[in-house]
Amino acid sequence: MAKVSGPLFSLEARGKVGNATVFFPWKGRHVVRQWLKPTNPKSTLQGYLRVALKAIGKWISKVKIGSTIYEGATAKCPAGLNWNAWLMGGYLELNQSGGTFKTASFQAIVNEYSSLADSVLTAFRTNATALGLVDFALNYGYTQNIEAGLQLYFGAKACYERSIYTTAPYNTDPKNWDVSDVDKFKSDHEA
């Protein structure tokens, strides 16, 4: 049942009418859309996408307001967009082809990370742990462990793809970083 109220030239509706339409306010506008019964198929593709979103989301939560990364992202972010969504999009777009998420693209980035020199892998792992990132895994789709260092690597890819700075290490693909680049990237998370 939808509730409608209308004081002085302003109508507002909230709720569902039958199983057909949903009324709700969104960003100051009154919106109507078709009602769809939620489903959660837990497909392989959905699992890969959720892992990618969770990993980059965990990373962005470690970027402090006033930090070098924050300042670079907010300066480069187009007007009208949220800086964090825009920055995370730099990584998420790497997982797409023709606007569609591809599991092979995600796996290629994971393989790229795994093939880093041992010292650089250790630097990503150590710095990720210092930032408070922790490993996780899903039980469907992509079921392998997403270690903390890989989450930090995804963040590095996002910063590189969005070109938040034209100086090192941001002007170099993270697959070519050395230990000092990873250490600088970690310190750039702090305000």
**The pLDDT of residue 26:** 82
Domain boundaries, given as residue ranges, for the chain: 13-40, 44-187
Q: What is the mean pLDDT of residues 27-54?
A: 88
Report the pLDDT value the prediction gives residue 33, as an integer from 0 to 100.
86
Structure tokens at 149: 């260092």
Q: Is the per-residue pLDDT at 9 higher than 70?
A: no
DSSP 101-155: E-HHHHHHHHHHHHTS-HHHHHHHHHHHHHHT---B--SSSS-S-B-HHHHHHHH
Q: Is the pLDDT of residue 156 over 80?
A: yes
| Residues 50 and 141 sit within 8 Å (Cβ to Cβ) | yes
Omega of the bond leading into 38 within 30 degrees of 0 (cis):
no
Report the mean per-residue pLDDT for the chain: 92
Query: Which H or E run includes 29?
Result: strand 29-34
The per-residue pLDDT for range 51-108, each reduced to its tens digit, is: 999 999 999 999 999 999 999 999 999 999 999 999 999 999 999 998 899 999 999 9
Percent of all residues in the chain with a pLDDT value above 90, rounded to a whole number: 76
pTM of the model: 0.82
Q: What is the mean pLDDT of the segment spanning 35-43?
A: 84
User: Does residue 8 surpass a pLDDT of 70?
Assistant: no
28 vs 121, residue with greater confidence = 121
Q: Tell me whether strands 96-97 and 100-101 are parallel, antiparallel or unpaired.
A: antiparallel
pLDDT value of residue 52: 97
Check residue 5 and give its pLDDT.
Answer: 64
Can you give the pLDDT at residue 138? Answer: 94
